[in-house]
Amino acid sequence: MTSTQRIARHDTDLLEIYPVAGNIGAEIRNISLSADLDDNHIQQIENALVKYKVLFFRKQHHLTDEAHQAFGARLGKIVAHPTVPSPAGTKLFELDASKGGGRADSWHTDVTFVDAFPKISILRGVTIPEYGGDTVWANTALAYELLPESLKQFVGTLRAIHSNNYDYGAERIVTEEHRLNHHKNVFVSSVWEAEHPVVHVHPVTGERALLLGHFVKKLVGFNSRESAQLFELLQNRITRLENTVRWQWQQDDVVIWDNRSTQHYAVNDYGNQPRLVRRVTIEGEPAVAIDGSRSRTVTRPQDAVNDTPDREVNYAAS
């Protein structure tokens, strides 16, 4: 199947779709997400996802943790996090603002410190603050598309090292000690690094997208200062406001995003209010560069186990 044929597969006639912003994001109304949805509905959700990048669903109050995971399994294999323990008996990732690792307030694509980073994330609002706590997503495919042609040619040759052992406090004005401790003692309990192309080809649509975010440690072949300058140049293109969509959470909302063509940022403006969200994450594959080369593992623990039935782990930092 050619890229053109893949891009054309956007049939969504069974869904009520309402775009939320001009360049990314759509709300789908009057549907109950469930493992019992027929194959046509599942296919059309997948079609809408690669078209709009982020899908929003209100009033999914029927979803328990078990049902959330069962629905996620219709979109692919649910995968576990390399370092962070998950709630007992689940593969859910729990982001609890009352705990050290629960705010995710910097721009990132999920878990890019592994070579086969997740393709889809499914986040459910369990406890939502009275105000604040929105999440913002950015379209990394459009960011690449809008680059000047000369810059496209340059960045298409670049590769970057992504690591979970990144500078957690670098982009934050204030970082509480307990959050730094959680990052050091849990999230970086073992170090994982992967090398990815800065521009990768989406396996379904054939679109080219920038693959960056806060897990980037350095660009291959450049010193730290040069890496930082190039990273900032490209990252600023991704997060231009015109390239984003912002979602104001309500209780029992579910958001599904294509992790291959987005970054996201959880706005940390809700103080000490409770905020609890849970996520199912779907297995991806190594990124493919324009020249056909693939992502590769740089560092991983020798005894690493990424997804076994008896290991209760889950994805963090999202």
Contacts of 284 (CB under 8 A, 6+ apart): 116, 117, 118, 119, 120, 259, 260
Rounded Cα gap, residues 246 and 18, in angstroms: 14
CA distances from 15 to 49, 60, 257, 261 (A): 12, 16, 17, 22
Quick one: how far is CA 24 from the chain centroid?
Answer: 14
Kindly give the residue spans of alpha helices, DSSP state H, lying in the chain: 3-7, 39-52, 65-73, 140-145, 149-155, 177-182, 224-238
3-state helix, strand, coil in the chain (%, to 5): 20, 25, 50
Of 237, 260, 278, 279, catalytic: 279
Contacts of 272 (CB under 8 A, 6+ apart): none
Of 68, 103, 110, 183, catalytic: 110
CA distances from 107 to 33, 236, 264, 274 (A): 27, 11, 5, 22
Q: Is the dihedral of CA 217, 221, 223, 229 positive or negative?
A: negative
Strands 135-139 vs 276-282: parallel, antiparallel or unpaired: unpaired
Rounded Cα gap, residues 123 and 173, in angstroms: 26
Of 108, 196, 275, 278, catalytic: 108
Rounded Cα gap, residues 166 and 304, in angstroms: 19
43-58 per-residue burial string, b: 16 or more CB within 10 A, e: under 16 = ebbbbbbbbbbbbbbb
Residue type, 181: N
Tell me, yes or no, if 246 is annotated catalytic.
no
Contacts of 99 (CB under 8 A, 6+ apart): 182
Tell me, yes or no, if 279 is annotated catalytic.
yes
Of 260, 264, 275, 278, catalytic: 264
DSSP 55: E
Tell me, yes or no, if 264 is annotated catalytic.
yes
Tell me, yes or no, if 178 is annotated catalytic.
no
Enzyme catalytic residues: 108, 110, 264, 279
